[in-house]
């Protein structure tokens, strides 16, 4: 366009006149430019009758006062917006509206040669399309302007032409295209050989099946046009569905920036409003204190929801395990059963996949495991191999038929539910265990600050990752892709087990040398939670390093957190202050916090970062 302060010869690639008659860099006029007002030699404007005295004074005065409204002068950004809107209007069938917009704005949707090129491609006029291609070749950006680029475009045109001849039952014409047009291009020879093999197709269904081509028609030609369009600069021809592409990108960015967004919720342009920014509410997030459980008489070192989400197990320094029954409707838990008799402090618990059995382990000097049948509320078996053993961690396989256990004194066993040891691995100083979804591979964190994989079937082991500081605990996501590691003096790290790389260091958590357990949570495990030595519970979105929320209320170190796998509105935390706290969504009447029988009111709060 002719901008303010520019000479009449200046041009740009946006093809807009904006109220003045201007030559474009390719020599064509913007739509509506010929309709601009010009003064005639007699002083009257084009299209307005000059007063000759024959009309009444009122009419003459009205005609003289009539002025043609000039087209707005648009800057580059507004020209781009107009073109995007115009393209979208045409895409949804509002052709007249698009033409009116282009005429009134003085913009041109695309170069006339590009418009003709599109018309010829969609109509299958390959000769004229090839001629237009020659004209368009001079408008390609210098960085793309090479013979190979034009050859590629011509190759795509001829490929479509060849396939359509085959479909129409014109093998002679198809052979002519193959020999005299495609082959001389000396481009993509393997593809030319492949195209020649399609001559042997006996019918169209076979042709479609072998080529993956939709056949002659608007669909395949539109797809071809989209491929050809990628070679042309946007100033000549807009990329296909450009406005929708930008809107999709905007929605994706808003989703990524949404602090409380759960990745299981499919957010795309079809199910969100474009009129407001996307922002998930934190009201249904487990950040509100619902219960304080004071039934343990000493520090609580571990808590874990069952896989079915209906039970919560807590283990304490008081040597007891308490089973709590979850009410999914009220989002509360109720004391169901206490398992006692252990000769050790309870520092670790793990559920069987069917939520029937619970393995109870103690600290480093504990050489036995207790396996409880939670349904029958009785001890199922005690596993004790040697008084010198240290069994501090365990993990069930996917079907619950076997489990692995071990400790830092070098014991690493594969056992069944009857307590029988089926295999062992010598010299592995175990800090944490997890079965992978293949039901064969075991991940083991050891005292060398690494996680290695072990397969008891063939006794093959391999390094997975290496940390610089001690791995205190770790957990694996349900999709087997990521692992959360609580690292001594470093905090919480997220690793990609497939790519074997560190993905993220989560900020905020205070981690010294205490054993603190973290977990994945939320629908689709979009979030991460961890206890902390500063008496708080931290929650992060898995894609963000900064905490989403900080939950306060505990008065001593928070040793463990557990997110309910079935009812993700529930989160439990266990602390050295002797309490277990249940966190849930914002309640209609959050005026009080329900306490268990032995509890007393306390301060509870949360902060959304």
Between the CA atoms of 27, 31, 37 and 40, what dihedral angle is there, to the nearest 10 degrees? 50
pLDDT at 254: 85
- When mean pLDDT is compared across 260-274, 452-466, 541-555, the lowest value belongs to 260-274
Residue 99 has pLDDT above 80, yes or no: yes
What the block records as the tokens of 510 is 């205070």
Query: What does 446-488 look like in DSSP terms, one character per residue?
Result: ETTSEEEEEETTTTEEEEEEE-SS-EEEEEE-TTSSEEEEEET
pLDDT band at 262 (very low <50, low <70, confident <90, very high): low
Distance between CA atoms of residues 31 and 82, nearest Å:
13
Residue 47 has pLDDT above 90, yes or no: no
pLDDT band at 299 (very low <50, low <70, confident <90, very high): very high
Residue 18 has pLDDT above 70, yes or no: no
**Nearest Cα residue to 507 out of 553, 471, 538, 464:** 538
pLDDT band at 14 (very low <50, low <70, confident <90, very high): very low
**Nearest Cα residue to 471 out of 433, 509, 439, 503:** 433
Residue 131 has pLDDT above 70, yes or no: yes
Query: What does 528-541 look like in DSSP terms, one character per residue?
Result: EEE--TTS-EEEEE
Contacts of 483 (CB under 8 A, 6+ apart): 434, 443, 451, 465, 474, 475, 476, 477, 494, 495, 497
- pLDDT tens digits, 141-185: 544 445 678 899 999 999 999 999 999 999 999 999 999 999 999
Between the CA atoms of 552, 555, 560 and 562, what dihedral angle is there, to the nearest 10 degrees? -40
- When mean pLDDT is compared across 141-145, 285-289, 315-319, 342-346, the lowest value belongs to 141-145
What the block records as the tokens of 400 is 């619950």
Do residues 292 and 574 make contact, with C-beta atoms less than 8 angstroms apart?
no
pLDDT band at 110 (very low <50, low <70, confident <90, very high): confident
> Tokens 């010829």 belong to which residue?
120
- pLDDT tens digits, 428-437: 999 999 999 9
> How many Cα atoms within 13 Å fall on the side-chain side of residue 446?
24
Distance between CA atoms of residues 389 and 1, nearest Å:
84
**Percent of the chain clearing pLDDT 90 (strictly above):** 62
Distance between CA atoms of residues 408 and 429, nearest Å:
4
**Nearest Cα residue to 360 out of 377, 379, 375:** 379
Phi, psi for 360 (deg, rounded to 5) = -115, 130
| Domain-wise residue ranges, the chain | 110-240
Do residues 362 and 318 make contact, with C-beta atoms less than 8 angstroms apart?
no
Q: 485-520 as b/e, with b when 16 or more CB fall inside 10 Å?
A: bbbbebbbbbbebeeeeeebebebbbbeebbbbbbb
pLDDT at 285: 85
Do residues 388 and 398 make contact, with C-beta atoms less than 8 angstroms apart?
no
Distances (CA, A) of 382 to 315, 326, 490, 501: 17, 27, 36, 39
Distance between CA atoms of residues 187 and 239, nearest Å:
25
What the block records as the tokens of 493 is 């790290």
0.85 exceeded by pTM: no
Distances (CA, A) of 103 to 24, 100, 184, 241, 576: 16, 5, 44, 21, 74
Residue 44 has pLDDT above 80, yes or no: no
Which residues, listed in sequence order, are joined to residue 434 by a DSSP beta bridge? 443
Residue 31 has pLDDT above 50, yes or no: no
């Amino acid at each position: 366009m002719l901008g303010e302060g520019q000479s009449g010869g200046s041009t740009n690639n946006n093809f807009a006149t904006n109220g003045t008659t201007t030559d474009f860099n390719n020599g064509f006029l913007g739509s509506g430019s010929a309709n601009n007002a010009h003064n005639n030699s007699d002083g009257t404007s084009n299209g307005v009758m000059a007063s000759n005295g024959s009309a009444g004074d009122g009419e003459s005065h009205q005609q003289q006062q009539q002025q043609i409204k000039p087209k707005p002068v648009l800057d580059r950004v507004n020209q781009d917006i107009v073109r995007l809107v115009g393209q979208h209007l045409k895409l949804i069938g509002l052709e007249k509206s698009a033409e009116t917009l282009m005429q009134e704005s003085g913009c041109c949707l695309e170069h006339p040669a590009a418009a003709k090129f599109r018309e010829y491609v969609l109509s299958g006029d390959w000769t004229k399309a090839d001629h237009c291609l020659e004209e368009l070749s001079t408008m390609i950006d210098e960085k793309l302007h090479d013979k190979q680029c034009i050859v590629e475009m011509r190759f795509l045109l001829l490929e479509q032409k060849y396939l359509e001849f085959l479909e129409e039952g014109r093998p002679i014409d198809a052979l002519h295209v193959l020999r005299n047009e495609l082959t001389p291009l000396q481009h993509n020879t393997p593809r030319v050989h492949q195209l020649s093999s399609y001559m042997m197709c006996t019918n169209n269904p076979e042709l479609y099946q072998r080529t993956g081509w939709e056949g002659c028609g608007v669909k395949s030609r539109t797809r071809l046009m989209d491929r050809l369009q990628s070679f042309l600069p946007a100033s000549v021809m807009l990329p296909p569905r450009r406005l929708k592409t930008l809107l999709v990108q905007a929605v994706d960015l808003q989703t990524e920036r949404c602090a409380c967004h759960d990745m299981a919720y499919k957010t795309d342009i079809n199910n969100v409003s474009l009129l407001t920014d996307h922002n998930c509410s934190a009201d249904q997030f487990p950040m509100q204190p619902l219960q304080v459980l004071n039934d343990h008489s000493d520090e609580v070192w571990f808590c874990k929801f069952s896989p079915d989400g209906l039970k919560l197990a807590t283990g304490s320094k008081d040597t007891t395990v308490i089973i709590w029954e979850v009410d999914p409707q009220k989002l509360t838990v109720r004391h169901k059963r206490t398992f006692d008799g252990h000769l050790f402090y309870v520092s670790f618990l793990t559920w069987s996949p069917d939520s029937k059995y619970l393995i109870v382990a103690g600290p480093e000097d504990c050489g036995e495991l207790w396996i409880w049948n939670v349904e029958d509320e009785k001890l199922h078996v005690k596993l004790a191999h040697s008084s010198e053993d240290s069994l501090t961690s365990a993990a069930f396989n996917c079907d619950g038929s076997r489990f692995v256990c071990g400790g830092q004194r070098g014991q690493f066993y594969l056992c069944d539910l009857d307590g029988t040891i089926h295999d062992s691995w010598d010299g592995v100083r175990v800090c944490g265990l997890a079965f992978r979804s293949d039901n064969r591979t075991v991940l083991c964190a050891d005292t060398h600050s690494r996680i290695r994989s072990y397969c008891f079937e063939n006794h093959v082991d391999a390094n997975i990752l290496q940390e610089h500081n001690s791995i205190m605990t770790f957990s694996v996501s349900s999709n087997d892709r990521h692992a959360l590691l609580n690292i001594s003096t470093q905090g919480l790290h997220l690793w990609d087990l497939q790519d074997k790389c560190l993905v993220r260091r989560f900020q905020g958590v205070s981690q010294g040398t205490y054993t603190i357990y973290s977990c994945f949570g939320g629908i689709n495990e979009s979030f991460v939670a961890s206890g902390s030595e500063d008496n708080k519970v931290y929650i992060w979105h898995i894609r963000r390093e900064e905490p989403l929320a900080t939950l306060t209320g505990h008065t001593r170190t928070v040793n463990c957190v557990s997110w309910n796998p079935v009812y993700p509105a529930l989160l439990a935390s266990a602390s050295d202050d002797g309490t277990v706290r249940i966190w849930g969504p914002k309640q209609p009447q959050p005026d009080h916090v329900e306490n268990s029988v032995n509890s007393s009111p306390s301060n509870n709060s949360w902060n959304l970062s």
